[in-house]
C-alpha cells in the first residue's frame, strides 16, 4: 500500500489511539510543511476553516501555504476533547505574529472524521484570535515539534 493512502492510527479509536492521532496532527502542523500536512487528509477531504471552505489535497496545500506565509513563528498545541469510532474532537491554541510583529494567540475547536485508512475526510475548525503582547506568549520552544516535556493546554491553563 502506498504510504500516502493511509495514516495510522486507524479507527475505531481508543483513548490511547485518539491521543496519538491528535499528537501526530500537532507535530505535522508544527512542521509548517503544507505538503507533509496534506498527506494526513484524503484526496477529496472537505474542510471548513473559519469562513473558508477547502476541498482536496491541492487546495489544502495552497491554503496552508497562504496561512503560514501570514502567520509567522507559528507554534501549536492540540488536545483531545472527545472521540468515537471514527471521529475526534480537538481543542487547540497556537501563537503567531504578523509581518508587523503583532502577536496573537488563536484558540479553536476542530471536529474530525476519518476513513478506515486513517485519512481525515472532514475537518471543521472554529477559530478566534486574541491579540497578545510578546511578554504574554506561552509557547517558547524552538520552531518545529513541541518538546515532550512542554506543558499542554490544560497544564498552561488555556
118-131 residue pLDDT tens: 999 999 999 999 99
CA distance 116 to 108: 26
Mean pLDDT score across all residues of the chain: 97
pLDDT at position 108 is 98
Report helix, strand or coil for 20. Answer: helix
How many CB atoms lie under 10 A from the CB of residue 53?
11
The fold adopted by the segment(s) 11-136 is: Nuclear Transport Factor 2; Chain: A, (3.10.450)
What pTM does this model have? 0.96
pLDDT of residue 3: 58
Instruction: Output the pLDDT for position 72.
Output: 98
Q: Report yes or no: 105 and 95 within 8 Å, Cβ to Cβ.
A: yes
Stretches in the chain below the pLDDT threshold 70: 1-4
Per-residue model confidence (pLDDT) at position 2: 64
Count Cα atoms within 13 angstroms, Cβ side, for 83. Answer: 20
User: Cα-atom radius of gyration of the chain, to the nearest Å?
Assistant: 15
Q: Which residues contact 124 (CB under 8 A, 6 or more apart)?
A: 47, 48, 110, 111
pLDDT tens track for 92-120: 999 999 999 999 999 999 999 999 999 99
Amino acid at each position: 500500500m502506498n504510504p500516502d493512502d493511509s495514516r495510522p492510527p486507524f479507527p475505531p479509536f481508543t483513548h490511547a489511539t485518539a491521543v496519538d492521532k491528535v499528537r501526530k496532527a500537532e507535530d505535522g502542523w508544527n512542521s509548517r510543511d503544507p505538503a507533509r500536512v496534506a498527506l494526513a487528509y484524503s484526496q477529496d477531504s472537505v474542510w471548513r476553516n473559519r469562513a473558508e471552505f477547502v476541498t482536496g489535497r491541492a487546495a489544502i496545500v495552497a491554503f496552508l501555504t497562504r496561512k503560514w506565509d501570514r502567520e509567522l513563528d507559528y507554534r501549536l498545541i492540540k488536545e483531545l476533547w472527545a472521540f468515537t469510532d471514527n471521529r475526534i474532537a480537538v481543542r487547540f491554541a497556537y501563537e503567531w505574529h504578523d509581518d508587523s510583529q503583532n502577536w496573537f494567540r488563536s484558540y479553536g475547536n476542530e471536529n474530525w472524521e476519518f476513513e478506515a485508512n486513517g485519512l481525515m475526510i472532514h475537518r471543521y475548525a472554529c477559530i478566534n484570535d486574541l491579540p497578545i503582547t510578546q511578554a504574554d506568549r506561552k509557547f517558547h520552544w524552538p520552531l518545529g515539534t513541541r518538546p515532550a516535556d512542554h506543558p499542554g493546554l490544560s497544564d498552561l491553563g488555556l
